[in-house]
Amino acid sequence: MQPFLFSAKNRFFPKHQIPFRALGVLFFSLAVCLVLYLIAVKVITYFHSQNELGIILSLKIFQMAWITMFAMLVFSCMVSSVSTLFLSQDNEIIFAAPVAKSEIFFMRYITTSIYTSWMMIVFSLPIFAAYGTVFEAGILYWPLMLGTIISTAGIATTFGMGLTVVLVNLFPAKRTKDIILYLSICFGIFIYLIFRLMRPEDLVNPDKYGHFIDYLSSLATPAAPYIPAAWAANLLSYYLLDREIDLLVAALLIITPITLFFLGEWAMERWFLAGFTKSQESFGGYRKFFSRGRYRRSSMQWTFLKESKLFLRDSAEWSQLFMIAALVIVYLYNFKVLPVERSLFEEEYVTNLISFLNIGLTGFVVASLAARFVYPSIGAEGGSFYIIMSSPLSTARYILHKYLFYVIPFTLLALILLVVSNRLLNIEGPMWWISVITGLIITWTVLAMALGFGAIYADFKAENRAAALGGIGAILFLFTAISFEMAIIFLGGSPVFRVMRGWLRHGVLPADDLLTLIVWILVSIGISLFLALFFIRRGIRKLEASST
Amino acid sequence: MVVLMDELNNTQGKTLPVQSDTELVLVIEHLTKKFGNFTAVDNISLHVKRGEIYGFLGPNGAGKTTTIKMIAGLLQPDKGQISINNRSLAGEPRKCKQDTGYIPDRPYLFEKLTGFEFLEFIASLYNLAPETFSRNTEHYLKLFDLENWKHHLIESYSHGMRQKLIISSILMLEPPLIVVDEPMVGLDPKSARIVKELFKNHASRGTSIFLSTHSLEIASELCDRIGIILNGSLRASGNLKDLQREARLEHSDLEEIFLELTGAYELQDIIAALRAE
């Protein structure tokens, strides 16, 4: 445990310094918790105030939240325990030392539990606490809730770790990690689609009751009795409604994590060494690929090939495409179900306004995805970056190749989001062109900014691309990109409104309004070019000045 | 070994004419690099002639890797300048880098590319002609026993295989200057032998090689001239005879000269004390 404790101490409480980082994390988490708590209280109060159906529904959502939390914990624990148990860098030192396997299991259990469950616990606490507040559950609810959360998290992590020890015996460690990763991503998408496409908020809309009569009849049925998360949900629901504790369920929640822990320890004794041996034999890359055709001299072509191969051969990267697909479906679906016909204003005005604001929304999606994929792409070169820097390829050209590589998929994505949502909103005429042109200007600029910030704050030691997201550079990039988008949208508000008013009323484009629109577009292009070149240049200077 | 030597002698590619001693490929003048208050490289000046193997010798932390990184264009010097083939590295970095092949001590590579794809990528960065590429890759992959592994992902390669792949990727470029940091780290004896022979072979055909090492055996076997660096400064530079004169140890080997020049003679006291225990 010592390495974990010491490195955590050094990270959060550096010697002779005020622990700003620790305090920052603490305050940020508290602020997020508070916001979550307030939102949850508002939503549950709304459900609660409807009628008895609302109460049943809110408790059903309570159960779903527990089961979701439990499943996510099991998946994330399995992914990280493959790493902590089998692929950790300190494994060779620890396993070569005369330490019992049960001790190793205990050590890895504690660290994996902390890594995987702290966030889930911190963010689920305010939601479950909100139930206590709305149901006026009394003082005993709080320790009961805390104990139940810890117990459920304990069950999830011990179950996940035990299962991992067994699974790694059947598959090589890296393959197991991939399999669990796919499963957890599919599960995440499933939950996301269910929540968005079923629109649970409609269930308390009196107009819709008739359509959900079958669903409502199923609401009263209790959750699956064999899932530990359902025990926790039932125990707390029972207490919330009747102020009584089901002792059988409480006993199950106490005994199960302890039993599972000992089972995990036993599995470790029994199967660990075989699995660890296998994880070293299977070095993951024993796959044969065939070269495509002949070598060509173009460094741009090869940068494209390199980037796409590195992306497509890394399951942690390409599997994100599923998430993006789900995001696009839900994004466009929302336009389809938008109740514009119920608006107080003329439908055409509203759809055009939405189409205009959609430029910003698309820009926001582009900025988030650029933060995930484009921003870390320079740091992702890792230790191999010396190859680029010591070659005759200039840094500017290298950045240009990267830019051109990412500009194609991002342009396609922005076009899909803009054109399809315009189609769903029946947008034609000048608004269509305004949205597409401005959307593309924003997309191309945001990409350049992502690369610029990525170069300025390149972290060549980051373990993977996702890890770079938490850094200061990514946050600054997102902040700058969104400010830029808002500025463009804000500046365009008046000229676009005037042009559209003329077009919708009389079907003509007044010359002076058209001129202001063109001026706005030209100013937008000017700002975009300035920002793109400014950040790219700073990035190039930083890369050339820094050591690798 | 006979087959191996034939292979080595059959090394194809253009032969650079060996020119007069005055033709300098690498010239370093008053090179200085500081990290904060710490001076890693302190006013170093040296040169490497065409076809010469220059050994850069020094204890751990002496400033060898920092100097090499500056030559490879990976670090900007605080003072001084580097010229490669009569061009300033600061003024014409692309042309200088085109003429320089850098082999690092730690083989970081793109894990998700195959060995062959990596070679193609490097070749494209240096704009290598397709015919040179096919001729040289085939030759070096065979020489280093990487032929059967060329279509496997680099993540499955051992440390030595990665090192051999990097060495192949630079040798296939046939650059006039090769800069190598600790060339034999992680290589098995056969591969180490091949690398030494390849370096000699390339040097005999006009390639200049600047290599850093702390192995005295490699330095004395391979190098025409040796520079000894200590605490960032060039302590001595020249061939074995020059160094013997400098150290005032006329009939001594490189190890004794090295210990004398790097002030490590207190080591003798430590060894004596350890033996006396």
- Residue A529 CA to residue A513 CA, distance in Å, equals 24
Q: Which long-range contacts (CB under 8 A, 24 or more apart) does A84-91 make?
A: A84/A108, A84/A111, A84/A112, A84/A115, A85/A112, A85/A161, A85/A164, A85/A165, A85/A168, A85/A272, A85/A276, A86/A168, A86/A173, A86/A275, A86/A276, A86/A279, A87/A173, A87/A174, A87/A177, A87/A279, A90/A3, A91/A276
CB contact under 8 A, B100 and A310: no
Give how far B143 is from chain A: nearest CA, Å: 20
Closest CA of chain A from B257, distance in Å: 33
Whether residue A488 contacts residue A524, with contact meaning beta carbons closer than 8 Å, is answered with: yes
User: Comparing A41 with B21, which gets the higher pLDDT?
Assistant: A41
Q: What are the tens digits of pLDDT across the range A427-477?
A: 888 888 889 999 999 999 999 999 999 999 888 876 666 666 667 888 888
pLDDT averaged over every residue in chain A: 79
Higher pLDDT among residues A16 and B136, named by residue: B136
Q: Which residue of A has its CA nearest to B169?
A: A387
Q: What is the largest CA-CA distance in chain B?
A: 64
pLDDT bin (cut points 50, 70, 90) of residue B11 is very low
Q: Does B7 have pLDDT greater than 80? A: no
The tokens describing B18, both together, are 């060996």
Evaluate whether A478 touches A367 at the Cβ level (below 8 Å).
Answer: yes
Average pLDDT over residues A419-425: 87
- Quick one: residue B80, left, alpha or beta (phi over 0 = left, psi -120 to 50 = alpha)? left
The residues of A whose Cβ lies within 8 A of any Cβ of B are 283-291, 294-299, 301-302, 305-306, 309-310, 313-314, 382-384, 386-394, 544-545, 547-548
pLDDT of residue A192 exceeding 70: no
- How deeply is B224 buried, as exposed, middle or buried, from its count of CB atoms within 10 A (0-12, 13-18, 19+)? middle
Query: Within 13 A of A381's CA, how many CA atoms are on the CB side?
Result: 19
Q: How far apart are CA B181 and CA B203, in angstroms?
A: 17
Residue A55 is which amino acid? I
pLDDT at A345: 66
For residue A314, what is the nearest residue in chain B, using CA coordinates? Answer: B112
Three-state secondary structure call for residue B208: strand
Please indicate whether, in this complex, the C-beta atoms of A302 and B121 are within 8 angstroms of each other: yes
pLDDT at A52 over 80: no
pLDDT of A44 > 80? The answer is: yes
Instruction: Decide if B255 contacts B216 (C-beta within 8 A).
Output: yes
The tens digit of pLDDT for each residue in B193-249 reads: 888 999 999 999 999 999 998 777 888 888 899 898 888 898 888 887 777 777 676
Residues with Cβ < 8 Å from A123, sequence gap 6 or more?
A32, A33, A36
**B28 has pLDDT over 50:** yes
Which pLDDT belongs to residue B14? 42
What is the identity of the amino acid at A393? Answer: L
Instruction: Look up the pTM and report it.
Output: 0.71
Question: What percentage of chain B reaches a pLDDT higher than 70?
Answer: 88
**What SS3 state is found at B80?**
strand
Which residues on neighbouring strands pair with residue B33, listed in sequence order?
Answer: B41
The whole-angstrom distance between B19's CA and the closest CA on chain A is 25
The distance of B193 to chain A (nearest Cα, Å) reads 25
Of the listed ranges A142-146, A198-202, A520-524, the one predicted with least confidence: A198-202
Q: What pLDDT, on the 0 to 100 scale, is given for residue B2?
A: 42
Q: Please give the Cα distance from A264 to A160 (Å, whole number).
A: 9
Contact in structure between B224 and B53 (CB atoms under 8 Å): yes
Q: Do A547 and B93 touch (CB under 8 A)?
A: no
Residue A290's identity, in one-letter code, is: F
Q: Do B121 and A305 touch (CB under 8 A)?
A: yes
State how far residue B163 is from chain A, nearest Cα, in angstroms: 13
Q: Name the phi and psi angles at B108, rounded to 5.
A: -80, 125
Is the pLDDT confidence value at A426 over 90?
no
Give B94's contacts in chain A (Cβ within 8 Å): 392, 394
Among A339-348, B13-22, B31-40, the range with the most confident prediction by mean pLDDT is B31-40
A217, pLDDT greater than 60: no
pLDDT for the residue numbered B8: 47
For residue range A322-370, list pLDDT tens digits in order. 777 877 887 887 777 666 666 666 777 778 888 888 888 899 889 988 9
Q: Which of B125, B126, B152, B178 to mutate to test the interface with A (most CBs of A within 10 A)?
A: B125
Q: What is the pLDDT of residue B140?
A: 92
> In chain B, which ranges are continuous DSSP H helix?
2-9, 64-71, 93-98, 115-125, 130-143, 159-171, 189-204, 216-222, 240-247, 254-261, 266-276
Q: What is the pLDDT of residue A493?
A: 85
A69 pLDDT tier (thresholds 50, 70, 90) = confident
**pLDDT at res. A332:** 80
What is the distance between the alpha carbons of residues B244 and B253, in angstroms, rounded to a whole number? 8
Whether B142 has its CB under 8 Å from any CB of chain A: the answer is: no
- Please give the average per-residue pLDDT across A508-525, as a whole number: 86
Phi, psi of A511, rounded to the nearest 5 degrees: -60, -45
Which chain A residues are Cβ-neighbours of B109 within 8 angstroms? 384, 387
Q: Quick one: pLDDT at residue A459?
A: 81
Identify the three-state secondary structure at position A90: coil
Q: How confident is the model at residue B13 (pLDDT cuts 50, 70, 90)?
A: very low
Inter-chain contact A302–B124, Cβ cutoff 8 Å?
yes
Q: Please determine, for residue A210, whether its predicted confidence score (pLDDT) is greater than 80.
A: no
> Are the Cβ atoms of A286 and B121 closer than 8 angstroms?
no
CB contact (8 A) between residue B152 and residue A288 = yes
